[in-house]
Amino acid sequence: MSSWFKVHESHRIPLSDGNSIPLLGLGTYGDPRTTPKGTARDCVKLAIDVGYRHFDGALVYFNEHEVGQAIREKIADGTVRREDIFYCGKLWNTFHPPELVRPALERTLKALKLDYVDLYIIELPMAFKPGNAFYPKDQDGNYIYHHTDLCATWEALEACKDAGLVKSLGVSNFNRRQLELLLNKPGLKHKPVSNQVECHPYFTQPKLLEYCRQHDIVIVGYCPIGSSRDASWVNLKCPPLLDDEVLVSIGKKYNKSSAQVALRFNIQRGVVVIPKSFNPERIKHNFQIFDFSLTEEEMKAIEALNKNIRFVELLMWSDHPEYPFHDEY
């Protein structure tokens, strides 16, 4: 294990504001059109029984009420206390204007029926037009973008933290320039503690990881074992990560799967991972990564797999003047 971060017995690492974050979380996104009602609730309850304490959700996933119900039921039956659970919510792209920030967070809290979230992050550094539609389009079917002042949005988030509605503040899909905008903001009150980005052995983010380490920002990696092959948002030209021979052969040595090796690789370098799964067996399987560790040579071999390939291309932003913003480090 690298000595630059300290791992608690509960598999948590510290955040720069004095709070801590579990290294492994469960991503709770499910396509609302195809995911049966109750799935998120059942899977979060199972995950808590398995040992997960970190849940990554969002208002725009349309299932925060189920996730909140699961958490509250497991608190009620004595399995966990509220302070054992770490919930991350996200500020969606239509809520960047400062006056919309707190109402958006309050919608998440109302859906969860919780008093606070542990982490609240700006989901993307660009904005859509504010309004009732989460994905606003013009009559030609093009997305309607909106000017965003990230520093003003951040000040509104700082006020939410000061009001006790959120414990920690972070960002997502930010590159170095966008992080610097916040870090260099005059009168910055609360630093971003985390940056949630795509991160896995084919996209290891070495420069961004180093920059974030220097500034005490934890990287939270989404798609840590690759992604579902959903053509609407996934680059299907990407080779399937879990078939990689290096991951498979290292896994054989430890009697682990390539997915477990990919997850272990990231947590061993201090990157939090949030694999999404609504499959009970996979939820259990992904948690079995704390009973082995990779050698320095194995870590280097996995780092060498980096192809700078991202699975999630965020094509809804492809007409935005800053696209592809996330390819600048």
Q: Annotated catalytic sites, by residue? A: 61
Among 160, 127, 156, smallest CA distance to 144 is for 127
Using an 8 Å Cβ cutoff, are 178 and 126 in contact?
A: no
> Tokens standing for 275?
């694999």
Q: How far is CA 22 from CA 66, 172, 191, in A?
A: 21, 17, 19
Q: How far is CA 219 from CA 85, 99, 130, in A?
A: 19, 28, 28
122: helix, strand or coil: strand
Residue 127 CA, distance from chain mean position:
18
> Tokens standing for 271?
């990157």
Distance (Å, whole) CA 179 – CA 192: 8
> Tokens standing for 83?
């302070």
Using an 8 Å Cβ cutoff, are 195 and 179 in contact?
A: yes
Distance (Å, whole) CA 97 – CA 113: 25
Distance (Å, whole) CA 136 – CA 149: 19
Q: What is the DSSP secondary structure assignment for residue 320, as one 8-state letter?
A: S
Q: How far is CA 94 from CA 12, 99, 108, 122, 314, in A?
A: 32, 12, 14, 11, 16
- Is 146 flagged in the annotation as binding? yes
For helices 39-50 and 280-287, give the axis angle rounded to 10 degrees.
Answer: 30
Binding-site residues for substrate sit at 146
Binding-site residues sit at 146
